Amino acid sequence: MQAEWNLLLKQLQKKDTFVFNAIKSFKLVKSGENQITVMFPSDSAKVEFDKVSREFFNHFKTKVHNFSIEIVYQRDVENLKIEVMTKRKIFEKFVQKNPLLKDLDDLMRFDLT
């Protein structure tokens, strides 16, 4: 299952980068003999996944010759959270390591937008 998932991600990376970026953090887990749990970080990412999920699961069911596989969706924000690093957040991390940067920012007034 993981090999097919990685293949889909590679294809999407070339074909549709927007969908790829939305679903690359999804985790697929075999939770039973005929059950796959899809863990997703947000509802908007799930909407993008729905665009390709039917084709992916039909291909997977055909490949393994098991058409009784059920798909269960589970929201998993804690483990799949990806933090977007802005220039301001990066600067604040550096300020924690070197507090003199804050004084330099006050003096120079960096544009961190």
Residue 83 confidence (pLDDT) above 80: no
pTM recorded for the entire structure = 0.64
Confidence of residue 57 (pLDDT cuts 50, 70, 90): very high
Digit-coded pLDDT (tens) for 6-48: 999 999 999 988 889 888 888 999 988 899 999 988 888 888 8
Paired strand residues for 40: 75
Which has the closest alpha carbon to 68: 38, 36, 46? 36
